[in-house]
Amino acid sequence: MGAAFPGSLDQQSLWDEVFERRYRGDRLARRLFLGAGVRTRHGVVDPRREDVSGWSTAARMRRYVDEAPALGGRAVRGALADAGLSAAEVGLFVVVSCTGYATPGLDIQLARELGMPASVRRLLIGHMGCYGAIPGMGAAADFVRARRLPALVLCVELTSLHIQPEQPHRDLEQVVAHALFGDAAAAIVLVPDAAHGLEVLDTTAATAPGSEDLMTWHVTDHGFRMGLSREVPDVLAKHVEEATASLLDPFTADRGDVAGWAVHPGGPRIIDVVEERLGLAAAQTAVARRVLATRGNCSSGTVLLVLDQIRGGLAAGATAVAMAFGPGLTLCLAALRRR
């Protein structure tokens, strides 16, 4: 595994220098912004120094093309070094992103720059949001098993490019979106028959019926605009137990056999709901809260950041679960075992 981050942003400073003025000192906006569970995060755009809120989507995509390759390349090099592989050995390169697009894309650019073979298979997973790493991991694991070649999954999210224009009225959904999200790149390498690491046992997904409007990510003339209903945690609460049981039943007796939980920290209430419904202790979600506090919600790569921090504490043979949530409303989960 490997990760990379752009410059650091202090949450209190962001409120004091940017968003207090934007939201005209509104007390509820302040409480939501500073109560999002984030202390620091990262961004290729620092809104204290550069205001991109009025930029066109085209201008934001040009910035994505400028920034994403270097950030993604750092994460990939770290993951390859961790795996003891060279880029020339990669058989499949999966790139996950919902915050920027270009064709030819980041996948082909990085494959060339990093020295992957011309025959490398490439897969771009776009606009799936915060759970995109899990289907990326599942596709890569299937490839590794079938082809007996290494695969690499890279998540690159530059959420700071999508700060929205100031509105004449208070929009609490945008307050939360502006408070939560940070930029990051995270990468994992999957290889056949590894002597150590985390074995991907299976992945699964569950989409809540009739929940499409609860979490959205719309392309507008001024970047991508987040829609985030306050109902999201309650809907997740209705489905997370069944989804987790569906994943684990073939591999382990019950949730109590799981030694590590990599929960996507979509926000404090999301983590609360997972704790409550799965009967987890605070210690079992402490890493998720720490990632939220220090990195923010980095969309697709966040669950990999949590997984990276818990993997070292797993004993041989221990089972771990990674889970993430996003538009749909969809829950994606992966079962892993320490080798």
Which are the catalytic amino acids? 130
3-class state of residue 304 by DSSP: helix
Q: What is the DSSP letter of 301?
A: G
User: Integer distance in angstroms from the first to the last C-alpha of the chain?
Assistant: 15
Q: How many alpha carbons fall within 13 Å on the CB side of residue 28?
A: 6
Q: What is the rounded distance in angstroms from the CA atom of residue 187 to the CA atom of residue 77? A: 9
Q: What is the rounded distance in angstroms from the CA atom of residue 319 to the CA atom of residue 337? A: 4
Place of tokens 């997904």: 205
Q: What is the rounded distance in angstroms from the CA atom of residue 245 to the CA atom of residue 268? A: 23
Q: What is the rounded distance in angstroms from the CA atom of residue 304 to the CA atom of residue 70? A: 19
**Cβ-Cβ contacts under 8 Å for 288 (sequence gap 6 or more):** 261, 262, 263, 264, 265, 271, 306
Beta-ladder partners of 151: 92, 190
Q: What is the rounded distance in angstroms from the CA atom of residue 173 to the CA atom of residue 267? A: 13
Q: What is the rounded distance in angstroms from the CA atom of residue 6 to the CA atom of residue 154? A: 16
